[in-house]
Every structure is written in structure tokens, then in C-alpha cells.
Amino acid sequence: MANVTLEKLETKIQKEQARLEAMYNRKEELIKDISKQEKLLENLRSEAKVQELKDLGSLASGMNISIAELMTAIKNGDFYGLQEKIESIAAANETAEQEQENKENDDSKLLDDLDSPIEGDFE
């Protein structure tokens, strides 16, 4: 009778040993999967930061200011000064556009004058 109990215990030990080995195998696979996932997340976060910097660069470029100026304003909390600079650049651009438009109008008028017949008494 003692042998039957010992055989059952040995069988149970083998089963539990097999379960433990299976758990270790899953653990190794999970550790690899976790490592891959961490690397993927790190890469995605890096891509997001790069995209944010690109967007910031586009924004700064559209306002004709440098990223350094933008970052300095953020760092110093000087948004009023930044706003003034942006507004002065916008005003300068509007003035330049108006001057270009006036020049184009003057050029167009000059060409129209050249195309029109000369009026007057030339006798």
C-alpha cells in the first residue's frame, strides 16, 4: 500500500514539474514580448516627439520666427513679447504685400498707357 501512495506522489511530482517548466517557458516568452513592446512604445514616443518638433518648426516658420525664439519665449513665459514680434512681422509682411500690389498696379497702368493711342493735336 505504501508503494501505491509513493507512485501517486511521484506521478503528481512529475505533473507539477511539467507545469512549472511550462510556466518558465511562458515566462521567458512573456519577458521577450514585454521587451519588444517596451521598445515599440519607446520608438512610437520618439516618433511623436519628432512630429511635435516638426509641427513646432512649421508653426514657427509660418510666423517667420525661429524655433529658438519660440522656445525662449516658452522658457521665459514671455508670450506677450512673442506676440508683439509676430504682430510686427505680420505688419511688415502686409506692408511689403501692399507695396508689391501697388507696384504691380503701377506697372499695369503704365502698360495700359503705352497701349492706348496718343491723344492730342500734333499739327
pLDDT score recorded for residue 50: 94
The model's pTM is: 0.51
Whether 75 maps to a domain, the answer reads yes
User: Range of 79's domain?
Assistant: 66-111
Does 1 or 64 have the greater pLDDT score?
64
Shared domain for 46 and 20, answered yes or no, is yes
Contact (Cβ atoms closer than 8 angstroms) between residue 71 and residue 82: no
Distance in angstroms (rounded) separating the CA atoms of residues 75 and 87: 20
Q: What percent of the chain has pLDDT over 70?
A: 84
pLDDT score recorded for residue 21: 97
Whether 118 maps to a domain, the answer reads no
pLDDT score recorded for residue 44: 97
pLDDT score recorded for residue 8: 94
What confidence tier does 37 reach under pLDDT thresholds 50, 70, 90?
very high
Whether 117 maps to a domain, the answer reads no
Task: Give the count of domains, the chain.
Answer: 2
